[in-house]
Amino acid sequence: MRLSDAMSVERIVDLKATSKDEAIAELIDLAVTASAVDEFSEQLLGRVLEREALTSTAVDRGVAIPHARSEQVEGVVVSLGIHRSGLDFGSPNGDPVHLVFRVLSAPTATPA
């Protein structure tokens, strides 16, 4: 699978969020607006936040990849949020996150 199969320019946005949770909600809402997900749901948001609570999805160099599987999604849907000043995602090195790749996938989705 290529990234372009799961992501489109309509799902890239400058984030207005002031917190990690707001950023994740904003990116889920963006997927709905871009018709990649049928409707915003607290359940979908809850799944991503639940996964994030297990351990931070901040990786390195200002990047985080919050993700979850859901029956609301067909295949894999990726949105990218850019935060100019950075957000606290609880990264291991304490650095703020500037790029948030939110990944949603169907329970049966597998990389090709």
A 10 A CB-CB count for 4 gives 9
Residues 92, 27: Cα–Cα separation, whole Å: 23
Point out the catalytic residue in the list 11, 47, 67, 102: 67
Instruction: Pull the structure tokens for residue 81.
Output: 């949020």
CB 74 within 8 A of CB 51: no
Is 67 catalytic? The answer is yes
Catalytic site positions: 67
